[in-house]
Structure 1
Amino acid sequence: MSATPALETRDLTIRFGGHVAVNAVSCAFHPGTLTAIVGPNGAGKTTYFNLISGQLKATAGRVLLGGQDVTGLSASARTKRGMGRAFQLTNLFPNLTVMENVRLAVQSRAGAGLQFLQLWSHRGDLIDRADSLLAAVKLLDKRNAMAGALPHGDQRKLEVALLLALEPDIFMFDEPTAGMSVDEVPTVLELIHGIKALGNKTVLLVEHKMDVVRSLADRIIVLHNGTLVADGDPAEVIASPVVQEAYLGVMPEKLEAAP
């Protein structure tokens, strides 16, 4: 494991008026690991993601990428430095086709600018890359459909394709299986497994479904009322009384009395 974390937050904090939504969270994330961030509704999970990716400005604390302080950088500047974010609510161009959405992401990654209508006729490599991404998320047969007309589950898969197209060093997934049918979920989980298996990517996952967390995570961190309350091996964290109470709503005394 690299001595320098790929991503680190130090005392990361945000206040909205008198409410502390994320409270001095310090955590380091290394390449080749997948960390699940869990907690009850309102725990601060998505807010923490927004602070890391630059959608929100921290009240206090720092965000570091590869040891470099990026706290003052915009979300787009952080993306250029290798941070990739898939949102809880789909972040697509609804009036473009599925293929055009992926084309834009592929072209951006290739540094070819955004004049995609003029470039595609002589950039077969980029077309092939876009098609391969659509095949990976099982949307190739819908390449000409309008993104805004896709069912919610297909929109989530398209969003994953866009994130893969950017080839970031850090992948951030915010409930990637939300709204998907049971038969759609394995496609996304296999893709995330594949990213983790590369060994050089850092993956953060916000997820409510504990079966998904158990199948993917090397590590779990738990937020409760914006504070980091647990961090460690998935089995140990899930079994801890503080997590049972905060996340699962089971009081410690009930756990002790259980057979």
Structure 2
Amino acid sequence: MPEPVLETRDLTIRFGGHVAVDAVSCAFHSGTLTAIVGPNGAGKTTYFNLMSGQLTATSGTVLLGGQDVTGLGAAGRTARGIGRAFQITSLFPNLSVIENVRLAVQARQRQAASLFTRWSSHADWIDQAQAYLDEVNLGAVRDTMAAALPHGDKRKLEVAIMMAMEPEVFMFDEPTAGMSVDEVPVILDLIHRLKARGDKTILLVEHKMDVVRSLADRIIVLHNGKLVADGEPAEVIASAVVQEAYLGQAPKAPAAGAAHV
């Protein structure tokens, strides 16, 4: 098997006496979509934050492309190829929709606009930003201030920004949270298309099992901060350890590593 794009080894974080993520070792490969599931408080978003650099691990290692990035913060990991969409949108609210995406395009190209250069000379950045907006069905509101968008459109804009960064790893933390029934298919279709490219590593935290079934190649399950199951979706969803975890009971098997099902 080729080298993982992203890997954690014994990744752990403690908050006082509470171990929120407990020695989780897991590898993620290019061309796969892994869903991370578990009951509320299982440590899913905390694990995401440790991988993307929003939190600093108490112990353990994060590897990206085989390189140790444990000491890098979120900005450093983003520059190395990790893209992250949050449960709560993270935008520049006082900039227009297209300006938000244009900044991402510009950052990816590691260029800075000169104060003495006319904006029109950077039309290629705008063209690229427009293409990403069209992909998320926001092209028609390109000049609207981000703060004025409804919640669902803010989520779409965040995805467009992440796509504009062209990361190697796409991390979606409950991407459909707060969206109306009509808005959800747009985001799911985007994730399907990213997966179909076959060259990206996609991680997804999601509570809705119908979404997980439709997207995931693999499911890992966290419970009380531990990795308790890892395998193909149908088998993991049907397993006793997952059924017990979702009922809030302790899993029968002690978690000396993952229970592969």
Tell me the TM-score range normalised by the shorter chain.
over 0.9
Determine the structure 2 residue equivalent to 1:237: 236
Aligned partner of 2:27 in structure 1 is 28
In the alignment, structure 1 segments of 5+ residues that lack a partner are 254-259
Q: Deviations over 1:168-203 (max 9, x none)?
A: 000000011111111111111111111111111100
Q: What secondary structure is seen at the aligned counterpart in 2 of 1:123? A: helix
Q: Which residue of 2 aligns with 1:75?
A: 74
In structure 2, the residue corresponding to 1:3 is in which secondary structure? coil
> Deviation per CA, 1:82-108, whole angstroms, max 9, x where unpaired?
111111110100111111111111111
Distance 1:251 1:110, change over 3 A: closer
> Aligned partners of 2:116, 2:210: CA distance in 1, in Å?
43
**Is the CA contact 1:120–1:127 (under 8 Å) kept in the aligned structure 2?**
no
What is the match of residue 106 of structure 1? 105
Normalised TM-score (structure 1): 0.93
Does the residue aligned with 1:162 lie in a helix, a strand or coil? helix
Q: Is the 1:34–1:205 contact (alpha carbons within 8 Å) kept by the matching residues of 2? A: yes
Length, aligned pairs only: 252
Task: Provide Cα deviations, 1:181-226, integer angstroms capped at 9, x if missing partner.
Answer: 1111111111111111111110000011111100000000010111
Identity, in percent, stands at 73
Residues 251 and 116 from structure 1, CA distance in 2 versus in 1: closer, same or farther, beyond 3 angstroms? Answer: farther
What aligned pairs does 1:139-218 form with structure 2 within 5 A after superposition? 139-218=138-217
- Distance apart, 1:115 and its partner CA: 5.8
Task: Determine if contact 2:93/2:147 at 8 Å carries over to the other structure.
Answer: yes
Offset, 1:127: 1.2
1:88, 1:174 within 8 Å by CA — same for their partners in 2?
yes
The alpha carbon displacement at 1:249 in A equals 4.9
The one-letter amino acid of 2:144's match is A
8 Å Cα contact 2:11-2:60 kept in structure 1: yes
Question: Offset at 1:61?
Answer: 0.3
Is there any run of 5+ residues in structure 2 with no aligned partner, and where? 253-261
SS at match of 2:171: strand
C-alpha separation in 1, matches of 2:52 and 2:4: 16
Alignment of 1:19-98 (within 5 A): 19-98=18-97
The Cα shift of 1:113 comes to 2.2
The answer to whether the Cα contact below 8 Å between 2:245 and 2:251 also exists between their aligned partners in 1 is: no
Paired with 1:187 and 1:207, the residues of 2 have a C-alpha distance of 16
The 1:225/1:98 distance shift into structure 2, 3 A limit, reads same
C-alpha deviations, 1:121-153, integer Å up to 9, x for none? 112221111111111111111111110111111
Say if 1:108 and 1:114, in contact at 8 Å, map to a contact too. no
Letter in 2 for 1:32: G
Go from structure 1 to structure 2 and tell me whether the alpha carbon gap of 1:12 and 1:250 turns closer, same or farther (over 3 Å shift).
Answer: closer
Note closer, same or farther for the CA distance 1:123–1:9 as it changes in structure 2 (3 Å cut): same
Measure, in 1, the Cα distance between the counterparts of 2:87 and 2:117: 33
Whether the 8 Å CA contact 2:29–2:201 is kept in 1: the answer is yes
Kept in 2, the 8 Å contact 1:14–1:22? The answer is yes
Normalising to structure 2: TM-score of the pair?
Answer: 0.92
Deviation by residue 1:10-44 (Cα, 9 ceiling, x = unmatched): 00000000000000000000000000000111110
